[in-house]
Amino acid sequence: MTGSAPDIILETRDVSRHFGSQAAWFGEKRVVRAVDGVSLAVRRGETLAVVGESGCGKSTLARLLVRLIRPTAGEVLYEGRDIGGLSEREMRGLRRDLQFVFQDPFSSLNPRMTVGTLVEEPLRVHGMGSRAERRRRVDALLQRVGLRPEFADRYPHEFSGGQRQRIGIARALASGPKVVIGDEPVSALDVSIQAQVINLLEDLKDEFKLTLILIAHDLAVIRHMSDRVAVMYLGEIVELAETEELFARPLHPYTQALLRAIPVPTPHRRAAAAGVKGDVPSPLAPPAGCRFHTRCPLATALCSATKPDFADAGGGRFVACHYWQQAAAAAPAPHAEAHRTAAAQRRFALYRDRSEQQERLRTAAAAGPTTT
Q: Least distance (Å) from ligand SF4 to the CB of residue 293?
A: 4
Residues in the chain: 372
309: CB partners within 8 A, 6+ apart: 320
Contacts 24+ apart (CB under 8 A), 108-113: 108/168, 109/156, 109/164, 109/167, 109/168, 109/171, 110/156, 111/155, 111/156, 111/157, 112/155, 113/155, 113/156
Q: Which is nearer to ligand SF4, 67 or 260 (CB)?
A: 260
What whole-number distance in Å separates Cα of residue 252 and Cα of residue 249? Answer: 9
Q: Which is nearer to ligand SF4, 298 or 364 (CB)?
A: 298
Q: Which is nearer to ligand SF4, 21 or 282 (CB)?
A: 282
Q: Which is nearer to ligand SF4, 50 or 290 (CB)?
A: 290
Q: Least distance (Å) from ligand SF4 to the CB of residue 303?
A: 3
Is residue 109 within 8 A of residue 156, CB to CB? The reply is yes
Q: Which is nearer to ligand SF4, 292 or 351 (CB)?
A: 292
Q: Least distance (Å) from ligand SF4 to the CB of residue 304?
A: 8
Secondary structure in 3-state letters for 298-364? CCCHHHHHCCCCCEEEECCEEECCCCHHHHHHHCCCCCCCHHHCHHHHHHHHCCCCHHHHHHHHHHH
What whole-number distance in Å separates Cα of residue 101 and Cα of residue 228? Answer: 19
Q: Which is nearer to ligand SF4, 52 or 162 (CB)?
A: 52
How far is residue 179 from each of residues 8, 231, 353, measured CA to CA in Å?
12, 20, 26
In Å, how far from its chain's centre is CA 171? Answer: 18
Q: Where are the beta strands (DSSP E) in 61-172?
A: 73-78, 81-82, 98-101
Other beta carbons less than 10 A from residue 285's beta carbon: 11
Q: Least distance (Å) from ligand SF4 to the CB of residue 108?
A: 36
Residues at the contact surface with ligand SF4, assessed by CB under 6 A: 252-253, 290, 292-293, 296, 298-299, 303, 308, 321-323
Q: Least distance (Å) from ligand SF4 to the CB of residue 300?
A: 6
Q: Which is nearer to ligand SF4, 213 or 237 (CB)?
A: 237
Q: Least distance (Å) from ligand SF4 to the CB of residue 282?
A: 18
What whole-number distance in Å separates Cα of residue 295 and Cα of residue 279? Answer: 8
Q: Which is nearer to ligand SF4, 126 or 249 (CB)?
A: 249
Q: Least distance (Å) from ligand SF4 to the CB of residue 87?
A: 41
Q: Least distance (Å) from ligand SF4 to the CB of residue 302?
A: 7
